[in-house]
Structure 1
Amino acid sequence: MAHECVRPKAPKAAKIVLWAVLILLYLPIAVMLLSSVFSVHGGHVQATLNWFIEVLSDSNLMSALGNSLLVGISSSVLATVFGTAAAIALHRGSSKLKTVMDSLSMVSLIFPEIVFALSLLAWFFILQLDLGLQTVVIAHVSFSLSYVIMTVNSRLVTLDPALEDAARDLGAGEWTVLRTIIVPLLAPAILGGFILSFLLSFDDFLITYFVNGVGQDTLPVKLYTAMKMGVSPKLNALSSLMFLMTLSVLIFLFRSSAFRVLFEGSTEGRDLDGRQEKENL
């Protein structure tokens, strides 16, 4: 009788390190959330939503939120369109060109944000572009492209080429194949790339701080400016709202098919390439 393989238990030291890391990561967030809904008066702790009401009634903060949503949605749409087109072009290109372009497309993932921000700022000065929300959108598209290309490409490598060949055999042109075969199959990856781009854009501070104009602050920049005067329950409430908005988008991502494509697509692609190599041999 074959003996079942029993996985050994983790040592106690590893469990202690795990819990310590989790506490260090999530305790500050828990303190922030609790500080935004509880206040101390006369030695008594009271639950209140006044700080959230103040945040929602602050016209400056709501204007910054509008700027963040405008930049996030605009840059995500552009990055998704351009990144999807680039991923399809790279997937169909020659192997040597694909290797070079794949490496170049990952530049924003490798370069430090400060270097990326300074290079974009210098480029805008050379082009004599006035700094404002339009330069922020351009900058966010620049660093979001890599994530969209990576996400869409992880789905492309899992597609069966026979589907395109069958469509062409039935008389479909390239545009028809792209519109009716490829894009619907890439829809989960495209959605995942859009959500990733939006999250990166909505929460970005460093690059936005360098390329933004005067009087057009996004919410992270506005929060940083306000924190110079000290941390207050109102700022905790604002940070909590940003955290909850980001968390809700992440929950949507995890519950959608885009999550499976994003985290499992590359593995499936490698398995598919391995099977094809074995068949060729």
Structure 2
Amino acid sequence: MTAPTLPRQRTAPAEETLPVKPRRRITGGGVLHAYTWVVIGWLIVPIAVMILFGFNDTPGRYNQTWDGFTFKWYGRLFEYPDLTNALITSILIAIVASLLSGALGTGIGYALGRYRFRGSGTLNLIMFATMSSPELIMGASLLSLFVSAGAGLGPVTITIAHVMFSISFVAVVVRARVITLDRSIEEAAADLGASPWTTFWKVTFPIILPAVFSGVLLAFALSIDDFIVTAFTAGTTKTFPLWIWGATRVGIPPQVNVMGTLIFAVGVLFAVVANVRSRSSRKRD
């Protein structure tokens, strides 16, 4: 006999389980990313306002409210001779100061990054003290120096003052590049018969040139917009920042915003060129 078959019991279908979405957690990387964009926005907003009000169709010099869009101020850029002369003075002083700072700062940065000599620690301390000291102190001390020496205040004293506080920035940038320089490249040039002078100009200087260019660009930017040190050492000379400060009493014309926009555009162009040169230099290394 065959055993009777029992009826199969139907099992209840298993409940479908939906995937649980992981909770989004605020990580340190996300906070840092958001903070970076906030800082970038904080820095860009004043520049954007300056660029915008360079196109403001204001009827007078009080360029404080938006009255319409126009390009006419770019065609009337040099309408105020005093403003034009102040801008030319600032550009000439910045060019001379940046070139002198680049030459002197490159030598100091190369020496500090390559050699260990007596007094290098003191020189480092003085260099960073110059960078961190308030401009008010530097301006007052330079004014006392020039007055004690009987030097007439003007473009020359402004240039000397700008060179003095810009050298440290150039030296720091060049020193950082020299420290990371591969010495084996210079040793290979020496093995091939190159003299120390030839090795420097043919091998070392092209490698550190992006750092030198960045330092010169930084010195130019520091010089052209300096106000406090310039106010102490200018005498009757008017630079671009000093003219703007004096014009606030009667109103700042839109040409100031246009000139500021052009200076900013040139600075961005130089920064892009320096970045491209730096990347190409790292690829060669």
Fold conserved between structures, TM > 0.5: yes
Which has the greater radius of gyration?
2
What residue number does 1:37 align with? 55
Q: Which moved more, 1:167-176 or 1:67-76?
A: 167-176
Higher relative helix content:
1
Q: CA RMSD in A?
A: 3.1
1:210 aligns with 2:210: no
What residue number does 2:186 align with? 164
What residue number does 2:159 align with? 137
For residue 78 of structure 1, the aligned residue among 89, 100, 109 is: 100
What residue number does 2:267 align with? 249
What residue number does 2:243 align with? 222
CA contact (8 A) 2:91 2:224 kept: yes
Please show how residues 6-17 of structure 1 align to structure 2 within 5 Å: 8-9=25-26
Please show how residues 103-252 of structure 1 align to structure 2 within 5 Å: 103-214=125-236, 216-230=237-251, 232=252, 234=253, 236-252=254-270
Relative to structure 1, is the Cα distance of residues 192 and 29 closer, same or farther in structure 2, using a 3 angstrom cutoff?
Answer: closer
What residue number does 2:5 align with? none
What residue number does 1:60 align with? 82
Deviation at 1:21, TM superposition (A): 5.9
Please show how residues 13-32 of structure 1 align to structure 2 within 5 Å: 25-32=43-50
Deviation at 1:8, TM superposition (A): 4.4
Deviation at 1:93, TM superposition (A): 2.8
Q: Look up the equivalent residue of 1:224 and give its one-letter code.
A: W
Relative to structure 1, is the Cα distance of residues 28 and 63 closer, same or farther in structure 2, using a 3 angstrom cutoff?
Answer: same
Could you say what secondary structure the match of 1:192 adopts?
helix
Could you say what secondary structure the match of 2:54 adopts?
helix
Q: After superposition, what is the alpha-carbon deviation per residue over 1:135-184, rounded to whole angstroms, capped at 9, x for unaligned?
A: 11111101110110011111101111122222223332221122112111
What residue number does 1:277 align with? none
Cα distance in 1, alignment partners of residues 74 and 175 from structure 2: 41
What residue number does 2:114 align with? 92
Q: Which moved more, 1:159-168 or 1:219-228?
A: 159-168
Size of the aligned set, in residue pairs, is 251
Could you say what secondary structure the match of 1:138 adopts?
helix
Unmatched segments (≥5 aa) in structure 2: 1-22, 60-65
Q: After superposition, what is the alpha-carbon deviation per residue over 1:11-33, rounded to whole angstroms, capped at 9, x for unaligned?
A: 99999977776665444443443
Q: After superposition, what is the alpha-carbon deviation per residue over 1:231-257, rounded to whole angstroms, capped at 9, x for unaligned?
A: x4x1x4313421441243134313533
Deviation at 1:59, TM superposition (A): 1.6
TM-score relative to the length of structure 2:
0.76
What residue number does 1:270 align with? none
Cα distance in 2, alignment partners of residues 102 and 185 from structure 1: 23
Q: Which moved more, 1:63-72 or 1:171-180?
A: 171-180
Identity score, percent: 30
Deviation at 1:36, TM superposition (A): 3.0
CA contact (8 A) 1:75 1:140 kept: yes
Relative to structure 1, is the Cα distance of residues 183 and 106 closer, same or farther in structure 2, using a 3 angstrom cutoff?
Answer: same
Q: Look up the equivalent residue of 2:238 and give its one-letter code.
A: D
Could you say what secondary structure the match of 2:78 adopts?
helix
Could you say what secondary structure the match of 2:180 adopts?
coil
